[in-house]
C-alpha cells in the first residue's frame, strides 16, 4: 500500500511540474532550463517528508506558486526558481548558503526576502515584522512581493483544510493587506479573487446566496449580453482593426459591496456585468482608436455622460489605462462598457510585471516611481515599530485618487480624501513643514481642505513655521504623517534633552544605573519610547519624586506591572453557572470570562470567533466590521468559537428598514407584523420620513438567526417596504 501511495505521489508531482513548464511563456536559455530543473529537484528532495494539511505532498504547493507566477502574473525564470525554493530555507535543512552556491546572488536575495523571521520575538508584532521584511525588498526587487502574492493566492485557494479560526485569521490578513496591495500593483484579477475568497470564509451565507443567484440568472444574462453586443459588432467591423468583445460578470464581493452601500436587494443591482472591448493596435494608435470605439458605443446605445471615466488620458497611479462609460442598453438597463487596447488589458490583468514589459513604449511618466519613493521613505524611518509601519504602508494602498495641479500645471496624484497640507508635503518636505497658507483655485482655504479633481493648488511658506500635533489630524498620506512626526520628534528630542538630564541626576541620587532602569520607567509611565518620556519630564507632566517611593532590587527599580496576555482569562464565578451556549477553543464557554461584542451583536447561528482582550474574551461575528483589523493585527489573540447549545438566552439584533412613506400606517404595519404575527419583542423603534421616503431602525429580541431571517423576510413582504438589512 505504501509503495502504491508513493507511486501516486510521484505521478501527481511530475504532472504538476509538467504543467508548470507548459505555463512558462518567456523564452528560456540553457542556464534558465538548468536552474529550473535543479531548483525543482532540490525542492522535491527538501520537502519529501512533508505534507500539507490536506494530506497531499507539500512540494505541490511551491510548484503551484511557481505556476501562478509564470501564468497568472507573467514573471520570468528567475522568479520561477525562487518560487520553487521559497519555503526550503524556512521549513527544511536547506540554507541560504546552499542556494547562494547553487544559484548566485539574485535568487538568494529573492529567497531570503521570502523567508519568514524566526518566531522568537514579540508575538504582538510577529505578523507585522514578517510583512515589513518582505516589503523591505520591494524597493530593490518587486518580484519578492509578487511571489509572496502568488504564495498567498494558492494558500487562499486551498484554505478549506485549515481549522476555521486559522481560515479567519489568514482571510483577515489577506483582506487587510494583500488585496489592497494587489490593487496598488495593478493585479486586478488577484485582487478580485482575494476579495471573493475572503468573503467565502468570513460571510459564507451571503457569498453562497449571491453565487446561487448569479448562476440562476446566467442564461438570461448571456442572452442580454448577446443582444447588447450584436449591433455593436456591425459598426466595429468597419474600423478594420482587430478587436475582441465580451461580457464578464462582476465579482461576488463587488456585488455584495453594492448591495450594502446602496441598501438594495440583488434583484435591483443593475450592473451585474461589464462589456469589454479590446483593440489590437500599435501603441501610437491606441488612444485615437479607443475614442473611435467610444463614439460607436455611444452612437448605438444612449450614453450617460457623467459616468464617463477617462483613464487613457490620465492613467491611474498603478498604471491602469481604460475608458469606462455607462450606457442604456435594451430594456432600459444600464451597462458598463470598458474600452482598451491589448497592451492596456495585459497591464490591467497582470499589473506591475506587464508594466515593466511595456516600459518606454509610451510617453507616460513612470507611475510607480513616486509610490516606490514613498515606500523607501517609510523604510528609512528606522525607529518606527512594525505595526506603525504597516498602518502607514496601508495608507499608500489607496484605491481611489484625485488629480490636482501645481500653479505651473504639473499634475499630482493623491489618494481620495487628501488635503491641501498633503499636497504641500507631496511637493517637498520643506514646503510642507513651512506651509502657512494654501490657495485652491485662487481662493484661500484651510490647510485641512479636502482636494477635488482638477483643483489648482498654491502654497505659501514661512521660515518660522513648524509642524505641530494638530497637523496630524489634517493629513491622510503616509508621507505627510511621517514627515510631521519626524519634525515633532526632533523638537521633542531637543527639548527632551533637558528632561533626560533631570532623569540622569535623579537616578544618580538613587545610586542607580541609567541604562538599566530607563526602559522600565518608560514602560511604567506608559510612553512609547524614551523621547516621549524625556519630553514629558521637561513639560513637568511626570514627577521624578515618585521614583523615591519605589523598591529597589539588584540595582533595578521594581514596578507593579500587568502580566502580558498569553491566554484567555478564566471565569472567576463561584457556584453553578448556567451552561454557556458557546465553546471557546473546544472548551465550554462558561469556563471563560466572555461577553458578546457590541460592535456586531452576534446571534445564535452566526459564524463567530473569540478575541482575547485585556479585560476578557469578546465574541465577534466573522463578518464584524472590526474583525479584519483584529485578526490581521493581533492574530495570535484570536481563538476558535462555536455554538454548542440551542437553548441560548435571547439576543438583540438591529435592522435597517427603508421604503415609501405613506403616513402613520407604516409604523402600524411593522409593529403588527413583528409583535402580533411573529410574537417577537421590540426593544426600540425609530423612524423618520422625508419627501415620500422613510428610513427606520428597529431593535428586536430574537433567539437565533432563523428568527431574525424570518423577521427580515416578513418585513420585506409588507406593502411600502423597499428593503430590510441587518445593521453592520
Provide the edge-to-edge strand list for the sheet that holds 435-440: 443-445, 435-440, 457-461
Q: CA 683 → CA 43, 77, 587, 606, 652, distances in Å? A: 61, 63, 32, 20, 8
The C-alpha cell at 176 is: 487587510
DSSP β-ladder status, 334-341 and 411-415: unpaired
What would the grid cell of residue 145 be?
512581493
Set of cell numbers at residue 602: 452576534
The Cβ of residue 422 has, within 10 Å, a number of other Cβ atoms equal to 26
Confirm if 150 and 72 have CB atoms less than 8 A apart: yes
CA atoms within 13 A on the CB side of 499: 23
- The residue written with cell numbers 474574551 in the block is 617
Nearest 10 degrees: Cα torsion 439, 440, 443, 447: -50
Q: How many CB atoms lie within 10 A of CB 462?
A: 10
Q: Which of 211, 204, 206 is nearest to 607 (CA)?
A: 204
Are β-strands 638-643 and 608-613 bridged in parallel, bridged antiparallel, or unpaired?
A: antiparallel
Spell out a b/e string for 73-99, using b for 16 or more CB atoms within 10 Å of the CB, else e: bbbbbbbbbbbbbbbbbeebebeeebb
Cβ(421)–Cβ(451) below 8 Å: no
Number of C-alpha atoms within 13 angstroms, CB side, residue 460?
Answer: 11
- For 681, phi and psi rounded to 5 degrees? -85, 135
Nearest Cα neighbor of 528 from 563, 558, 488, 473 is 488
Q: Which residues are catalytic?
A: 90-91
Which cell is 168 given? 479567519
Which among 670, 600, 691 is positioned nearest to 641, based on CA atoms? Answer: 600
Amino acid at each position: 500500500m505504501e509503495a502504491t501511495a508513493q507511486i501516486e505521489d510521484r505521478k501527481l508531482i511530475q504532472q504538476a511540474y509538467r504543467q508548470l513548464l507548459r505555463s512558462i511563456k518567456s523564452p528560456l536559455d540553457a542556464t534558465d532550463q538548468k536552474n529550473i530543473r535543479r531548483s525543482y529537484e532540490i525542492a522535491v528532495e527538501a520537502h519529501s517528508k512533508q505534507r500539507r494539511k490536506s494530506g497531499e505532498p507539500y512540494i505541490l504547493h511551491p510548484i503551484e506558486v511557481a505556476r501562478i507566477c509564470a501564468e497568472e502574473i507573467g514573471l520570468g525564470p528567475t522568479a520561477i526558481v525562487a518560487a520553487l525554493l521559497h519555503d526550503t530555507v524556512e521549513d527544511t535543512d536547506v540554507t541560504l548558503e546552499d542556494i547562494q552556491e547553487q544559484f548566485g546572488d539574485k535568487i538568494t536575495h529573492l529567497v531570503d526576502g521570502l523567508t519568514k523571521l524566526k518566531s522568537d520575538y514579540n508575538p504582538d508584532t510577529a505578523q507585522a515584522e514578517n510583512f515589513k521584511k518582505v516589503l523591505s525588498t520591494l524597493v530593490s526587487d518587486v518580484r519578492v512581493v509578487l511571489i509572496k502574492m502568488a504564495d498567498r493566492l494558492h494558500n487562499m485557494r486551498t484554505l478549506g483544510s485549515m481549522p476555521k479560526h486559522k481560515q479567519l485569521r489568514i482571510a483577515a490578513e489577506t483582506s487587510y493587506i494583500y488585496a489592497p496591495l494587489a490593487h496598488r500593483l495593478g493585479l486586478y484579477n488577484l485582487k478580485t479573487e482575494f476579495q471573493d475568497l475572503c468573503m467565502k470564509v468570513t460571510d459564507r451565507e451571503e457569498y453562497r446566496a449571491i453565487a446561487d443567484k448569479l448562476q440562476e440568472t446566467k442564461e438570461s444574462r448571456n442572452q442580454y449580453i448577446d443582444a447588447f453586443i450584436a449591433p455593436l459588432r456591425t459598426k466595429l467591423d468597419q474600423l478594420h482593426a482587430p478587436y475582441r468583445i465580451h461580457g464578464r460578470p462582476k465579482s461576488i464581493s463587488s456585488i455584495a459591496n453594492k448591495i450594502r452601500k446602496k441598501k438594495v436587494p440583488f434583484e435591483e443591482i443593475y450592473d451585474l456585468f461589464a462589456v469589454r472591448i479590446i483593440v489590437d493596435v500599435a501603441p501610437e494608435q491606441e488612444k485615437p482608436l479607443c475614442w473611435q470605439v467610444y463614439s460607436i458605443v455611444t452612437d448605438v446605445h444612449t450614453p450617460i455622460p457623467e459616468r464617463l471615466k477617462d483613464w487613457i488620458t490620465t492613467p491611474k497611479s498603478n498604471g491602469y489605462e481604460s475608458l469606462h462609460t455607462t450606457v442604456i442598453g435594451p430594456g432600459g438597463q444600464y451597462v458598463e462598457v470598458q474600452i482598451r487596447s491589448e497592451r492596456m488589458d495585459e497591464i490591467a490583468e497582470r499589473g506591475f510585471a506587464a508594466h515593466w514589459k511595456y516600459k518606454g513604449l509610451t510617453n507616460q511618466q513612470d507611475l510607480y516611481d513616486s509610490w516606490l519613493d514613498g515606500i523607501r521613505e517609510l523604510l528609512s524611518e528606522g525607529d518606527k515599530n512594525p505595526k506603525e509601519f504597516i498602518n502607514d504602508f496601508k495608507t499608500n494602498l489607496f484605491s481611489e485618487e484625485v488629480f490636482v495641479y501645481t500653479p505651473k500645471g504639473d499634475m499630482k496624484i493623491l489618494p481620495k480624501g487628501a488635503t491641501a497640507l498633503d499636497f504641500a508635503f507631496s511637493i517637498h518636505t520643506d514646503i510642507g513643514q513651512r506651509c502657512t497658507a494654501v490657495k485652491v483655485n485662487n481662493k484661500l482655504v484651510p490647510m485641512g481642505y479636502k482636494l477635488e479633481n482638477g483643483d489648482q493648488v498654491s502654497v505659501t511658506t514661512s521660515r518660522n513655521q513648524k509642524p505641530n500635533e494638530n497637523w496630524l489630524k489634517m493629513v491622510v498620506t503616509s508621507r505627510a504623517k511621517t514627515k510631521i512626526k519626524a519634525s515633532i520628534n526632533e523638537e521633542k528630542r531637543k527639548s527632551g534633552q533637558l528632561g533626560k538630564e533631570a532623569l540622569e541626576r535623579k537616578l544618580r541620587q538613587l545610586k542607580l544605573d541609567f541604562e538599566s532602569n530607563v526602559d522600565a520607567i518608560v514602560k511604567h509611565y506608559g510612553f512609547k519610547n524614551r523621547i516621549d518620556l524625556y519630553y514629558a519630564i521637561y513639560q513637568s507632566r511626570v514627577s521624578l519624586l515618585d521614583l523615591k517611593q519605589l523598591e529597589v532590587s539588584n540595582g533595578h527599580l521594581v514596578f507593579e506591572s500587568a502580566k502580558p496576555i498569553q491566554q484567555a482569562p478564566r471565569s472567576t464565578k463561584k457556584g453553578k453557572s448556567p451552561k454557556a451556549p458557546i465553546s471557546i477553543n473546544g472548551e465550554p464557554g462558561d469556563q471563560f470570562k466572555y461577553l458578546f461584542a457590541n460592535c456586531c451583536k452576534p446571534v445564535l447561528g452566526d459564524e463567530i470567533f473569540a478575541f482575547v482582550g485585556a479585560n476578557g474574551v469578546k465574541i465577534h461575528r466573522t463578518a464584524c466590521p472590526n474583525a479584519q483589523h483584529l485578526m490581521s493585527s493581533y492574530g495570535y489573540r484570536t481563538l476558535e468559537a462555536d455554538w454548542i447549545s440551542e437553548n441560548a438566552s435571547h439576543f438583540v439584533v438591529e435592522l435597517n428598514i427603508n421604503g415609501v412613506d405613506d403616513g402613520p400606517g407604516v409604523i402600524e404595519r411593522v409593529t403588527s407584523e413583528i409583535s402580533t404575527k411573529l410574537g417577537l419583542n421590540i426593544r426600540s423603534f425609530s423612524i423618520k420620513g422625508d419627501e415620500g421616503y422613510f428610513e427606520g431602525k428597529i431593535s428586536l429580541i430574537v433567539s437565533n438567526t432563523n428568527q431574525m431571517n424570518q423577521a427580515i423576510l416578513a418585513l420585506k413582504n409588507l406593502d411600502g417596504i423597499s428593503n430590510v438589512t441587518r445593521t453592520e
